[in-house]
């Protein structure tokens, strides 16, 4: 039988938002398993937790990330405000204001999108993704 886990806030090390410095905000990967991940992100004004993207595949300097074809994601805005932006199949950009208490569901196959903190205060959000993407470290040849 599996044991219950309690993860204390102070036990979760913050990381910088993907590809940005600490001025953008921080991500705390609270729980990650083979079935899902759960983050708490704090995004400063003018920044996004993840710029324009689709849930397919991307590469950073150190990792390659590949999303499963059935990947789904949920953002729950804990505090602050922002704007969710997405591109239609024709390439037009649509957007909708979001604020504390709002939930954004990105089903499998969702169009290109980003969440932007366009407010004056940090935006905190809980993020759940299922199943989690596969991350591979890119070997650095010297």
Number of domains in the chain: 1
Residue 18 has what pLDDT? Answer: 79
Residue 142 pLDDT exceeds 60: no
Residue 71 belongs to a domain with what CATH number?
2.60.120.10
> For the purposes of burial, counting CB atoms within 10 Å of the CB of 41, is it exposed (0-12), middle (13-18) or buried (19 or more)?
buried
Please count the other Cβ atoms lying within 10 Å of the Cβ belonging to residue 128.
Answer: 16
- Structural domain boundaries enclosing 47: 23-137
Q: Give the lowest-confidence range in 57-66, 80-89, 120-129.
A: 57-66
Residue 61 has what pLDDT? Answer: 73
What does the DSSP 8-state code read for residue 44?
-
Residue 33 pLDDT exceeds 60: yes
Domain assignment present for 9: no
Task: Encode 66-79: b = buried (16+ Cβ within 10 Å), e = exposed.
Answer: ebeeebbbbbbbee
Domain assignment present for 32: yes
**Dihedral angle over CA of 71, 72, 78, 83, nearest 10:** 100
Sign of CA dihedral 124, 16, 32, 128: positive
The pTM assigned to this predicted structure is 0.88
The percent of residues in the chain predicted with pLDDT above 70, rounded, is 98
- Average pLDDT score, the chain: 91
**Dihedral angle over CA of 102, 107, 110, 113, nearest 10:** 20
Domain assignment present for 67: yes
Residue 13 pLDDT exceeds 80: yes
């Amino acid at each position: 039988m599996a044991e219950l886990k309690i993860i204390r806030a102070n036990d979760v090390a913050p990381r910088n938002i993907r590809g940005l410095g600490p001025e953008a905000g921080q991500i705390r990967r609270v729980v990650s398993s083979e079935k899902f991940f759960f983050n708490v992100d704090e995004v400063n004004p003018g920044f996004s937790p993840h710029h324009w993207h689709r849930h397919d595949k991307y590469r950073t300097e150190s990792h390659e990330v590949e999303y499963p074809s059935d990947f789904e994601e949920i953002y729950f805005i804990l505090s602050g405000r922002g704007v969710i932006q997405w591109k239609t199949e024709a390439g037009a950009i649509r957007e909708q204001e979001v604020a504390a208490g709002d939930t954004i569901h990105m089903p499998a196959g969702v169009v290109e999108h980003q969440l932007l903190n366009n407010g004056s205060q940090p935006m905190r959000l809980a993020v759940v993704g299922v199943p989690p993407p596969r991350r591979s470290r890119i070997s650095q040849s010297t």
